[in-house]
Amino acid sequence: MKTRIKHNKPTLTSALENAAKHICTAKSGLCPHAVFQYPCPNVCTLDTMAWECWVRYFIDQAKHSRPQENASQ
């Protein structure tokens, strides 16, 4: 059963951030590059938080899993 739930952007952003922080903690603070050899989307600095990389990883995964819309419509 797939019931479509409508969320606003701040709610989804907060949920994604919390999920990323949990995954990061579960992976002992390792970023997706260390876990999956996922290419880093930005240059890492001392200010880069691993959970931020997990957010980017999840967003990229969602973009790749979406079916392509028909551009001719």
Q: Which of 22, 9, 72 is nearest to 50 (CA)?
A: 22
Predicted pLDDT at 45: 81
Domain boundaries, given as residue ranges, for the chain: 30-63
CA distance to 51, 61, 68, per residue, from 65 (Å): 21, 6, 9
- How far is the C-alpha of 6 from the C-alpha of 23, rounded, in Å? 24
- Tens-of-pLDDT digits for all 73 residues of the chain? 566 667 778 888 888 899 999 998 998 888 888 888 888 777 888 888 888 889 888 888 888 776 655 544 4
Residue 32 CA from chain centroid, whole number = 10
